[in-house]
Amino acid sequence: MTEIVSEPQAPQATPQNNPQDQQAASRSRRGGQGRQPNQAGQQAARPQNPLLEQLAKWHPALFGEQLVPFKRGIFEDLLAAHPELEKEALKAALQQHTRSGRYLAAMASGQQRHDLNGQPVEATLPEHVHHALIEVFRRRQQRTPEDLTPKLRNRIVIAYEASGLTREEYAERVQGRDEKTNALVADALAEADARAAKDEALLRSFQLSGQTSEQEFAEMYGMNPRQVTQQLERARRRNASKA
């Protein structure tokens, strides 16, 4: 049977709702009187599928307080473990679960995929991490006037560095239909490469300085010791991954 738990897809750019338009439409439907409309960005919480409560009792490591990404084929695994379940009911429950903000946040974190026992069994593909990350920030942006673009760009840099892919490979995998998001990815990858070059230059300087203490090296050049340590660690990890 084909896997039915859909992976997060790259979201399309959508205009944000105008609170005044929402308020006017609400008044129009109620003749201008009645209950106060919801505040901008707030929506009524969707009732939880009751089957998810049962799944949480059976598999708390997957459906409990701390969510983790599912392994591919989890739908078939659940049917095999619980043959009494109706396929369509399970499908609806899993779709609601995997589209929730909490599950998307778990995917965006880059954690491994887990089986029914809550054991990590396979890596989450970089493109799945990326699309979940974009969706998480899209939803957050709808709830705040703050421009979250810089934070999203930094998270893309982190995801790219963790992927182990080259710049070209990563860009190809996460390419989407939204040109604005594609441009943001390009900026993030350029920023990551520039940071990597600085980290490598700093590591070479440290090695040539003859210093054995990173703190003394930082103080020698008037740099922040903590930042120097972070840069050196990043450079060493990159070099180790290439070895």
pLDDT of residue 193: 92
The verdict on 112 and 52 lying in the same domain is yes
151 in a domain, yes or no? no
Domain end (from 124, 144, 164):
144
- 131 lies in the same domain as 201: no
Q: What is the pLDDT of residue 21?
A: 43
Q: What average pLDDT does the segment 33-42 reach?
A: 43
Max mean pLDDT range (64-68, 131-135, 221-225, 237-241):
131-135
Spatial distance between the Cα atoms of 58 and 78, rounded to a whole number of angstroms: 10
Please tell me whether residues 210 and 119 are part of one structural domain.
no
The verdict on residue 170 lying in a domain is no
Tens of pLDDT, residue by residue over 165-193, are 999 999 999 999 999 999 999 999 999 99
Residues 68 and 139 in one domain: yes
193 shares a domain with 75: no
pLDDT at residue 152 in the model: 97
- Cα separation, 182 vs 34, in Å, equals 44
Residues 71 and 139 occupy one common structural domain:
yes
How far is CA 134 from its chain centroid?
A: 7
Mean of pLDDT over the chain: 84
Q: What is the pLDDT of residues 91-127, one digit of tens each?
A: 999 999 999 999 999 999 999 999 999 999 999 999 9
End-of-domain residue from the set 109, 128, 144: 144
Q: Look at residue 235 in the predicted model and tell me its pLDDT.
A: 86
- Predicted local confidence at residue 67, as pLDDT: 95
Residue type, 101: G
Integer Cα distance of 113 and 98 in angstroms: 13
* Overall average pLDDT of the 119-145 stretch: 97
3-state secondary structure of 210: coil
- Written as one letter, the residue type at 150 is P
Give a yes or no: residue 171 inside a domain: no
Do 127 and 226 fall within a single domain? no
CA–CA distance from 18 to each of 92, 119, 122, 129 (Å)?
Answer: 31, 44, 42, 30
Q: Is 150 inside a domain boundary?
A: no
Max distance between CA atoms of the chain, in angstroms, equals: 79
In a domain? residue 101: yes
User: Do 104 and 206 share a domain, yes or no?
Assistant: no
Domain of residue 114, residue span: 1-11+48-144
Phi (first) and psi of residue 113, to 5 degrees: -80, 145
Q: Which residue has the higher pLDDT, 20 or 79?
A: 79
Asked whether residue 29 is assigned to any structural domain, the reply reads no
Q: Which CATH number characterizes residue 88's domain?
A: 1.10.1710.10
Q: Which of 109, 144, 179 is the last residue of a domain?
A: 144
According to the model, what pLDDT value does residue 182 have? Answer: 96
Position 17 in a domain: no
**Number of domains the chain contains:** 2
Q: Quick check: is 155 in a domain?
A: no
